[in-house]
Amino acid sequence: MREIAFRQALREAMQEEMRRDQNVFLMGEEVALYNGAYKVSQGMLDEFGPKRVIDTPIAELGFAAIAVGAASNGVRPIVEFMTWNFAVLALDQIMNHASKMLAMSGGQFGCPIVFRGPNGSAGQLGAQHSMAFESWYANIPGLKVISVSNPYDAKGLLKSAIRDENPIVFMESEVMYGDVGVVPEEEYLIPIGKADVKRMGGDVTLVSFNKMMKVAMNAADELAKDGIQAEVIDLRTIRPLDIDTIIESVKKTNRLVIVEEQWPFGSVSSEIAYQVQQKAFDYLDAPVRRICSADTSMHYAPNLVAAYLPDVAKTVKVVKEVMYAVK
């Protein structure tokens, strides 16, 4: 089976859906003439033309509003943000209009739109360009939130997102666009709202998503050297959350550790921990633990970047503390 880059998987998803449905179009900063800031949309202007691959001004609020209006009138926009750090400027349109359209219209019309782009840190980019936003958008009723970790999931979930009738926030990562993975040539879809067990194990459940899946998988490799078999779950979808897959794993392993790039207060891990203690408290042999980014802004210096982010060593340490805890 062929292997392709993350950016190509995203591009193929958009191309296939634009060929399938003439109502689908792409808009965003530099998506057309420049082939995308990260070359995700390379060649799409040549194939689909300037009416369906549209360069926008540097005005996130403005072009998000255009997309919401378009989606409300029967077409299906894909909006690329150069980074989700800039998309806070468009939050009014995403939160107050796209997410509420179906409810405020009494179910008469929805807002089938995909907002996508890179999320989280990408090295030494400073405090204003390094935030992770999954928990922000997952807090908004009416939105679906997807956060992918590999090319296969990226293509299958983006195709499903484009076909969905709801507004969807689709999180990628700048540092993963060059990642290579197995992606079938034939068409496939991945259902929204279904987590994936990437590695089986019976001692502890590790839950993660987006690029922190690399940390979780590498930590599982290190733990295996010490005889600890971790079951690793990739959430893929943050909202709706597949809590059932997590619960089934916890019932088997009796321990749960969550690795994510969010700030700790009000994070995705906070919600997971709450739901697990509600639904599987009697199965836990140790407290639920998590590894988040530091509760501060991320600064530029490389040693501070390393201190800020979750990593394998921090994850292994917490898992071992959980393993040796007494109920």
Closest listed residue to residue 181, CA positions, set 151, 216, 215, 213:
151
The whole-angstrom separation of Cα 1 and Cα 182 is: 7
According to DSSP, residue 78 is labeled E
Q: Check: CB of residue 3 under 8 Å from CB of residue 10.
A: no
| Full strand arrangement of the beta sheet holding 256-259 | 196-199, 230-234, 204-208, 256-259, 289-291
Residues ≥6 apart with Cβ < 8 Å to 313: none
Q: CA 190 to CA 170: how far, in whole Å?
A: 14
Identified catalytic residue from 129, 134, 231, 260: 129
Distance in angstroms (rounded) separating the CA atoms of residues 109 and 314: 47
CA-CA-CA-CA dihedral for 84, 207, 235, 68, to nearest 10: -20
Query: Catalytic residue at 60?
Result: yes
DSSP for 30-77? TSSTT--TTSTTTTHHHHH-TTTEEE--S-HHHHHHHHHHHHTTT-EE
Q: Rounded to 10 degrees, what is the CA torsion of 79, 84, 86, 91?
A: 70
Q: Which residues of 224-257 are buried (b: 16+ CB within 10 A; e: fewer)?
A: eeeebebbbbbbbbbbebbbebbbebbeebbbbb
**Tokens standing for residue 180:** 């290579």
Active site residue: 12, 17, 29, 60, which one? Answer: 60
Q: CB-based contacts of 95: which residues, under 8 Å, 6+ apart?
A: 140
- Is 299 a catalytic site residue? no
For residues 95 and 122, is the Cβ–Cβ distance under 8 A? no
Annotated active-site positions, please? 60, 129
